[in-house]
Structure 1
Amino acid sequence: MTKQGNGTFVQVAVALQTLAIFFQAATAGLLLTSSSAEAVHGVGARVMYGATMLYVLAAILAWRPGGGSPRPVLYSSGFLVLASVQVVLGIAHKPALHVPLGVLMFGLSVLALGQVLFTRSPGRSGAGS
């Protein structure tokens, strides 16, 4: 896979993570009105966790071939820690912590998405770099 391909993989992974977290917010709202929404929210939690693991994998693959800063790997690993805490809080039925953490995760994921979509990496534009 080329460096550009790894960058695209990171973009897709962060976009998928952001969409999954947004879906979780929507299904959390449905929990207030429908008892069947719990199953959908549970499935969404698994998808969100998988998307976060995919983000870690994409960040590692993008970092290894070109070297550079390990910062994206640290960011994605931080998301995985937050997602793990979020799952534990959800299972424990602690909405006073679960909901604000979900809002924080969505905001951070949107920021990460903006960063990977609109920040050019130095040294990746030329063929001889």
Structure 2
Amino acid sequence: MAWPIRWALRIVITAHMLAVFVQAVFAGRFLSGDFEMLRLHFINSQVVGALGLAETALAILYWRPGRGRGWPALACLAVSIAEPLQIASGLLRVIGVHVPLAVAVFAASVLLTLWAWRPTFGVRRSTAASEERR
């Protein structure tokens, strides 16, 4: 596995998760009456979307040329598809879709970050299985 792709994927997955967390903070502050936070929530949604696309591209590079696992590319793609729906539902004020989708994006981002920082990240499956048996 190419070292730079693994580290780039780790960093972008982590940055994406942090940006998603900040979205929740901005939303909470807005709901508490700080109406300026709604503008920041929108601006940060663009950051989240861009990081989601970068994460997906890196996950594809990790999978195909890098011979890593394929499921992270699919998971990142699913999140990258959900995020524009998330933005649209927020702009249209469809809160019944926006909030549950936010929870799903947040959960997926946390799980991807936990996976990316596992000690066996980037280790081939046969090597990782033998290390886990020790």
Whether TM exceeds 0.5 here: the answer is yes
Aligned to 1:28: 27
Q: TM-score, normalised by structure 2?
A: 0.84
Q: For residues 126 and 26 of structure 2, what CA distance do their matches in structure 1 show?
A: 40
The one-letter code of the counterpart of 1:13 is: V
Aligned length: 124
Aligned to 1:98: 98
Aligned to 1:122: 124
Q: For residues 119 and 109 of structure 2, what CA distance do their matches in structure 1 show?
A: 15
Unmatched runs of 5 consecutive residues or more in structure 1:
none
Aligned to 1:50: 50
Q: For residues 21 and 81 of structure 2, what CA distance do their matches in structure 1 show?
A: 18
Q: Is residue 2:71 matched to residue 1:71?
A: yes
Query: For each residue in 1:56-103, what CA deviation from the matched residue of structure 2 results, as whole angstroms up to 9, or x when unmatched?
Result: 111122223233442221111011011121111111111122112111
Q: TM-score, normalised by structure 1?
A: 0.87
Q: CA RMSD in A?
A: 1.9
Q: For residues 126 and 47 of structure 2, what CA distance do their matches in structure 1 show?
A: 32
Unmatched runs of 5 consecutive residues or more in structure 2:
128-134
Secondary structure in 2 matching 1:118: coil
